[in-house]
Structure 1
Amino acid sequence: MSETPKANGTTEIRVGQEVATLVNTFSVDPERQDEFVRAWVEHTEKTMRHRPGFISANLHASVDGERVMNYAQWRSQADLQAALADPEVAREIVELGKFATGRDPRFYRVVSVHTA
């Protein structure tokens, strides 16, 4: 039985959850990691979280300063694709890309969850 994600946007990771999970890893210059994180947080707060189908976004910064990983949940891949097709979002993504030397966006399915 699948459940609907919480309306408050809390990230829940469960096997069989019917959400689109995007994991996007960015390669960044360690001197610019904090700047990239601040810009991505602003982009998420200002723009992405207000798009239809957005559930949550969680940003992770590697301790070596070389990577930033965004774990995002959307109601569907189509919802994220619609958001990315919006000219305002596309413009912001191009600007954010100036911080990163590479990115690796992929959709995932949860296959196992372990908790204490």
Structure 2
Amino acid sequence: MPTIAKNNDVITVIIIFAVEPERQHELVDTIVEFLETGVKHQAGFVSSSIHKSIDGVRVMNYAQWKTLEDYQAFVNNSETQKLGAKVFQFQIHESHIYEVVVSLPDDATLKITKGDKIHLAEFRVKPENQQRLVELEREYLPVGLQNPGLLSGNFHRSLDGVHNVNYGQWRSFADFEKLLKDPKYASLGEYWQGLAENEFHLYEVVFTEPAD
């Protein structure tokens, strides 16, 4: 099953699609079909985990490749990309290549499994502010982990310098809602101010390759 690689032995590619709620299921099926026919046998492919947002307006593919060169060879393979033509008829909201820069707690189980509850926070940042944002993420994540419902927090830095994401694994969405309402976590809603723009969605993992 997929594993979040906090020691960066793989690269992570996160593609987030914007979709109409009535077409979310169609998009998930289309991505899964492309994975089965055009992706999983590519050299360097490690894993892919498909997530659907609870509000119906996003689908995310959290994919891992052995090297950047492997991923670029896949992207530049015209025959393979023809197989994915149906996928790319949908709108891509964000697409970046990442490395994991903060992952806590140290003893967290970093497996991605079907049914997982995920909070994905997106930070749009200027390259000159990205490293400072990483430092603050490392500082403030232990505050969030005081909530027993947060199983792990995993901050990713995009290699192009303009995007960070936090892939938070939760016991339940109710636990996440408690964090939003509890005053002791108020600082978590402020630390990026002046450095980045932020939005988040809640997701459920609906498919993994390799399977759980």
Q: TM bucket by the smaller chain?
A: 0.7 to 0.9
60-69 or 104-113, larger mean C-alpha shift: 104-113
Structure 2 residue 55 is the aligned partner of structure 1 residue 103: no
Aligned mates of 1:14, 1:94 — CA distance in 2: 29
The corresponding residue for 1:78 is 69
Aligned mates of 1:49, 1:113 — CA distance in 2: 26
For 2:92, the aligned partner's letter is G
CA offset at residue 24 of structure 1?
A: 0.8
Aligned mates of 1:44, 1:23 — CA distance in 2: 14
| Counterpart pick for 1:113 among 79, 86, 103 | 103
CA offset at residue 112 of structure 1?
A: 2.1
Query: How many residue pairs get matched?
Result: 106
Q: What TM-score, normalized to structure 2?
A: 0.47
Q: Write the mapping of 1:44-59 to structure 2, written as runs, cut at 5 A.
A: 44-59=35-50
Q: Percent identical across equivalent pairs?
A: 35
Deviations along 1:62-110, one digit per CA (max 9) or x if unpaired, are 0111001110000011111111111222223332122x23331111111
Q: CA 1:87/1:14 → structure 2, altered by over 3 Å: closer, same or farther? A: closer
Q: What TM-score, normalized to structure 1?
A: 0.83
Structure 2: segments with no counterpart, 5+ residues: 109-150, 152-212
Task: Answer 1 or 2: which has greater strand percent.
Answer: 2
Aligned mates of 1:86, 1:17 — CA distance in 2: 25
The corresponding residue for 2:19 is 28
Which fold has the larger relative contact order, with Cα–Cα distance below 8 Å and residues 6 or more apart in sequence?
1
Structure 2 residue 14 is the aligned partner of structure 1 residue 15: no
Structure 2 residue 55 is the aligned partner of structure 1 residue 69: no
Report SS of the residue matched to 1:109: strand
Conserved 8 A contact 1:14-1:113: no
Report SS of the residue matched to 1:110: strand
Aligned mates of 1:85, 1:50 — CA distance in 2: 15
For 2:77, the aligned partner's letter is D
